[in-house]
Amino acid sequence: MNTIEIARRINKLSLDWIIKNLADFSLESQYFSQEKDSQLKMVAELCFVMLPALNSNVNNGQTGPILNQIQKTITTINFQSIFEENINRIATIGIINVFAYKLRDKHIIDMDFVRNHDLVQKLDNLPFRKMDLKFILELSDVEVALGYYDLYMETTLGNMQPPHTLTFMDMYSVTHTVFYITKLSRGIKEKRILPQQEKIHRYLMVLLIMCRKEKNFDLLFEIIYAITLVDYQMDAMDRLSIQESLKYSYERVQKIGYFESYEGMNKYVDTQVKAFELTYHTVLVAFGMSQELLRVEL
C-alpha cells in the first residue's frame, strides 16, 4: 500500500470510530457536571480537528453527524456561565467558540469581556500555550499584541532543543507550535520563521523516528500531521519513513482491532469510560492527520 491508500484507510477507521462514539463527546450527561473540564477538553479537541473539515470535501458529507453534534452542543449549552466560573477555560471554550463563529457567524461567549481582560498575558502559560490562545482568539477576531515570532523563539521548537532531551510533553509542544505557525494550513505563515523551514522539517523527521521506536502512536500521528503542514519539499527517504510509520500504525490497529495511544495501553483499561479517555485523542489526531494527507495527496 502507498501512503495515500493507508491514509484513506486510517481516515475511514477514525471517522467511523468518532461517529460511533459521538454520544461520549456530549456535554449534556450527568458525567459532565462532575468532570466539566475533561469533557470540555474532549469537545474542544473534536472542534479543533474538525476546523479544516469545514472547508474540505475529502469525506463528501460523511462528517455531517459530527457537525450536527457540535451544532447541537453549541446551541444547548450556556458556555458563557461555564467560562465565567473559570476564565482559565478560555483555551477549551475558545476553540469551541471559533467553531461556532465559523459555522454560524455567532460567538458563544462575550468577546468584549475577553478583549478587556488580556487573557494571553494574564494567564501564566508556557510559550506554546500562549501561541494556542493567540491562535484561538485571533480566529475569533480578537487582536493579540504578542507576535508569533517572539513566542516561537521561546518554545522548545524555536530553541531547537536536542531531540534526545525531549519529554513526550516537549514533543507535544513542538507539534502544537507547528499547528499555530502554520495556522492549520500548508506553509509557515510568519515570514521571520520561514527561513527555518528546512530545520523544522528535519527536526520533525527525527522525532518521527523516535516516536515510532517508542511505539507512541498518538505523537506519531501528530508529528506526521505537523510534517505535512510545514510543507517542505521531502526527499524519497522522508516519504518512505512516513509511509512505513503509517503502515506500522495501521497494521497495529488491524491486529488489535482498535486505536491505541501507545502500545500496551490496553493493560490500563478496566472500563469502557477509561478506554474512551485513553483512545479519543489518538483517533482525533489520526483523523486530522489523514484528512491533511488526503487533501495534499502526499
| pLDDT class of 124 with cuts at 50, 70, 90 | low
Partnered with residue 262 across adjacent β-strands are 216
Q: Is residue 284 part of a domain?
A: no
| Contact criterion met (CB below 8 Å) for 166 and 173 | no
Residue 294 lies in a domain: no
pLDDT higher than 70, residue 45: yes
In a domain, 15, yes or no: no
pLDDT, tens digit, 9 for 90 and up, residues 189-223: 999 999 999 999 999 999 999 999 999 999 999 99
Mean pLDDT of the chain: 89
* Residues β-bridged to residue 216: 262
Question: CA-CA distance, 47 to 295, in Å (whole number)?
Answer: 19
Give the global pTM: 0.92
Residues 108 and 80 sit within 8 Å (Cβ to Cβ): yes
Mean pLDDT across the stretch 178-182? 95
- Give the residue-averaged pLDDT of 126-133: 89
4 pLDDT above the threshold of 90: yes
Note whether residue 191 is domain-resident: yes
Structural domain boundaries enclosing 68: 22-236
Q: Is the pLDDT of residue 246 over 60?
A: yes
Least confident of 4-13, 98-107, 253-262: 253-262
For residue 172, is it within any domain?
Answer: yes
Euclidean distance between CA atoms 182 and 88, whole angstroms: 25
Number of domains in the chain: 1
Top mean-pLDDT range of 87-91, 118-122, 162-166: 162-166
In order of 11, 58, 83, 270, 274, the CA distances from 288 in angstroms are 8, 11, 27, 28, 22
| pLDDT given for residue 12 in this prediction | 94
In Å, how far are 43, 44, 71, 124, 271 from 143, measured between CA atoms?
25, 21, 26, 19, 44
Largest CA distance in the chain: 53
Overall average pLDDT of the 64-71 stretch: 90
Alpha helices in the chain (DSSP H): 3-20, 30-34, 36-50, 64-76, 79-85, 90-104, 111-116, 119-122, 127-139, 148-152, 168-182, 197-214, 217-230, 236-256, 272-296
Residue 252 located in a structural domain? no
In a domain, 241, yes or no: no
Give percent of the chain with pLDDT exceeding 90: 60
Domain annotation covers residue 257: no
